[in-house]
Structure 1
């Protein structure tokens, strides 16, 4: 599908392209998938950064940071809560509907569907092949869960069902070996590469 055919694409990526005027994004996604072999997670980040950049540009105001750094501040796992809240406040002050924009962010499954169903691009892969890819998948899943919890709590607060101040959601994952009972944060297990019972 070309950009000229874009109005026929009703998936979430297609709707975002129309809503934010992201002409050329389909060509970029195709090129970066087929030429650079970017992962679906990386392509989702590309798409979301473009969405955020368009929202910042449409606001026609100065916001501290380029779209990539602002996107990292909003979604990065290692970002301090104070930094994330400060960036959200700056965007809101600039007239940007942060919740609306982040709701338009896409997941790697959404990108996969867009590539396969709308652009006719083969998205098959051999699966996770190394620690780096595994870490990316786990980090994406954790970020998705944090986003879902954050949005749910925010909705409850706006509906008057929850009386709280500003919230920052963090989601940690621990892995327990059923053979020896050893338990690790997932990052530690990935760094170690083995359970303690395998080191004997």
Structure 2
């Protein structure tokens, strides 16, 4: 039985351990596979991680930075379209907090480093999350249906209360049907998810 590789052997895992960024590894994985978050690209995740890393550095230095300040500082340190003067000011901000700007840049990770950490050291896979994605869709649809029912009920009750509508006791039923134009099969969204597809698969 193979053991899970030591995450600290990767650059991302080492930085998480060095700067005490507990739970960042799990959130990084969740953001990649779209578990509880919109699925993000590796480049987007690298920027997200680097901003969290920069925030951790500042916190270790005794600062209490807010997200907007960290994001702007990261942009000034890394973007090509930043003027030399603005970059120098950003570097001076780090130096005032005892942070070497060059070391900070060296520690920023690439999208490839994020991919290596996720796949080789957390053994994450977008394919493995396919079942979770189905459940996520189911939950999203159910939430939307419940919200639609509540909105309709509220509006009908207001119309009835102001004598604009005659209506006895009522229930609102919302049924989302999916019709496949290729095979002609029609299923409720729940039934379609449960069976894993339409009649085309047969």
Q: Does 1:67 align with 2:66?
A: no
Q: Does 1:97 align with 2:96?
A: no
Rate the CA distance shift 1:8–1:114 in 2: closer, same or farther, 3 A: closer
What is the SS of the residue equivalent to 1:89? helix
What is the SS of the residue equivalent to 1:106? coil
- The match for 1:22 is 21
4+ residue segments displaced more than 6 Å: 62-65
- The match for 2:81 is 78
* Superposition RMSD in Å: 2.4
- The match for 1:110 is 113
Native 8 Å contact 1:13 1:110 kept in 2: yes
Q: In structure 2, how many angstroms separate the alpha carbons of the residues matched to 1:51 and 1:103?
A: 12
Native 8 Å contact 2:76 2:87 kept in 1: yes
- The match for 1:13 is 12
- The match for 1:139 is none
Please give the per-residue CA displacement for 1:20-45, whole angstroms capped at 9, x wherever unaligned: 11111111111111112211111111
Gaps of 5+ in 2: 128-202
Normalised TM-score (structure 2): 0.54
Gaps of 5+ in 1: 125-200
Based on CA coordinates, which of the two structures has the bigger radius of gyration?
2
Please give the per-residue CA displacement for 1:4-25, whole angstroms capped at 9, x wherever unaligned: x896531000000011111111
What is the SS of the residue equivalent to 1:9? helix
Please give the per-residue CA displacement for 1:126-174, whole angstroms capped at 9, x wherever unaligned: xxxxxxxxxxxxxxxxxxxxxxxxxxxxxxxxxxxxxxxxxxxxxxxxx
Q: In structure 1, how many angstroms separate the alpha carbons of the residues matched to 2:45 and 2:85?
A: 28
Native 8 Å contact 2:5 2:120 kept in 1: no
- The match for 2:32 is 33
- The match for 1:136 is none
Normalised TM-score (structure 1): 0.54
Query: How big is the shift at 1:123?
Result: 6.2
- The match for 1:133 is none
Rate the CA distance shift 1:99–1:6 in 2: closer, same or farther, 3 A: farther
- The match for 2:90 is 87
Q: In structure 2, how many angstroms separate the alpha carbons of the residues matched to 1:98 and 1:87?
A: 9
Native 8 Å contact 1:20 1:54 kept in 2: yes
